[in-house]
Copies of this chain bind each other. A is one copy, B any other.
Amino acid sequence: MNVVLEINADRLLEDLKRLRTFGAAGPGVVRLALSSIDIESRNWLAGRMTEAGLDAMVDGVGTVFGRSRKSGPVLLIGSHTDTQPTGGWLDGAMGVIYGLEIARALSESDDLSHLAVDVASWIDEEGTFSAFLGSRSFVGQRVEESIRSAQNREGLRLQDALERAGLSGRPRVRLEAARHRAYLEPHIEQGGRLENAGKSIGVVATIVGIHEVRLRFTGQRNHAGTTPLSIRRDAGAALVCFIQRMNEAFRQLADADTVWTVGRIELDPGSLSVVPGQADMHLQFRDANTTRLHAMEVKLTELVRDFNAEGGVSVQLARLSEPEEPVTMNAELRAHVARAADAVAPGQWMQMPSGASHDAQVIAPHLPSCMVFVPSIGGISHDFIEDTNEEDIVRGCRVAGLAAVSILKELWGTPS
């Protein structure tokens, strides 16, 4: 691999830092999808795309799309620039600016200026109104229902937010099968695996699947002074006991990347002097392997059945959302990214799952997709202090750029 794409590190970092000023909050960013500051940032981004020679637009749902004017097969590079309520400056934003920089670098190259890259900032990846709205609209999922009914935390309807931003009437960008041949999403890792392993690049193999359930324990509310332990039906104590059993059972099924999280526990009535009559827990489990996810689901059902068979406190299992199945990245694209990583950062990269969700999982069923990660300092994300070393940011862009060239050359039939 002897092609070199000249990434302009200063320009890359300047654009990232400029984008950070839209909604800046200390070191972090508050730029919720379709807020006025988000719309400002989208107009700025569209301007930067135009300066880069792309045909740029903010589409009918808010996605910023920079369309290459070049002919031939197109690599789509994208991510998102909306943030969490207490967001970091790189989550999503970095991948979008990588796309912009790679498009510019290709145009400036004597040998590579024929290679076409479209750049996207998908709207509302974070789900302020409706998660993955931009990428879902792009691949042709029906989003009308979301637009009509989704609301943000303040009760503002998505439809009204789009109206207010002047986007309602606009066309929505759609996947063009003959044109779009591959999707690359660069992103910060948002976890601590790379840092712990001492690596600087992650080549994503799979985006993990997610199951989310609620377990509700029903016992008998009672006076905490006058009710002996022997006759209590304490829903909270039952919940704690269930978690123990579940942890033991899941450990038997798990590998090193399997995760499960009890993120919420509520005891009713929640008073010092009252034995809880009801207890709820929210459980999420994630894995890259569909078979394992289903085995965990089956085990959970068994644990619930056994628990209920014992009498005393009863437990009911309910889904909190439709399960998201794991999404495997395209093997050929992954190989391009791995080769690029090995060229730029020999010995410093690793294959890994993505524990977080990304627009790539929406796009992958419709377009061969891949992802590349750079380390998050301390593994911290969705927090104002989220950060990545500048040299890691620049290195990641070099890997993404090299992978882009390699993918596009193969699409042209001129592999390097």
Contacts and interface: CB of A to CB of B under 8 A. Distances in A.
Interface string A269-285: 01111111000001010
A143 interface: no
A243 B262 CA distance: 15
Contact of A225 (B191, B224, B272, B376): B191
Contacts of A191: 222-223, 225-228
Interface stretch (A100-108, A234-242, A400-408): A234-242
B272 A190 contact: no
Interface string A170-195: 00000000000000000001111100
Contacts of A225: 190-191, 208, 210, 259, 286, 354-357
Contacts of A267: 262-265
B263 A226 contact: no
Contact of A223 (B221, B231, B355): B355
A196 interface: yes
A212 interface: yes
Interface string A247-274: 1000000101111111111110011111
Nearest to A221: B383
Most chain B beta-carbon contacts within 10 A, residue among A237, A263, A266, A357: A263
Interface residues of A, number: 61
Contact of A226 (B190, B210, B276): B190
A272 B283 CA distance: 7
Interface in A335-389: 354-357, 376, 379-383
Given A190-B226, A229-B254, A263-B267, 11 more contacts: A196-B231, A224-B286, A225-B286, A225-B354, A225-B357, A228-B257, A228-B259, A230-B256, A240-B243, A263-B270, A263-B272
Interface of A: 189-193, 196, 208, 210, 212, 221-231, 234, 236-237, 240, 243-244, 247, 254, 256-267, 270-276, 282, 284, 286, 320, 354-357, 376, 379-383
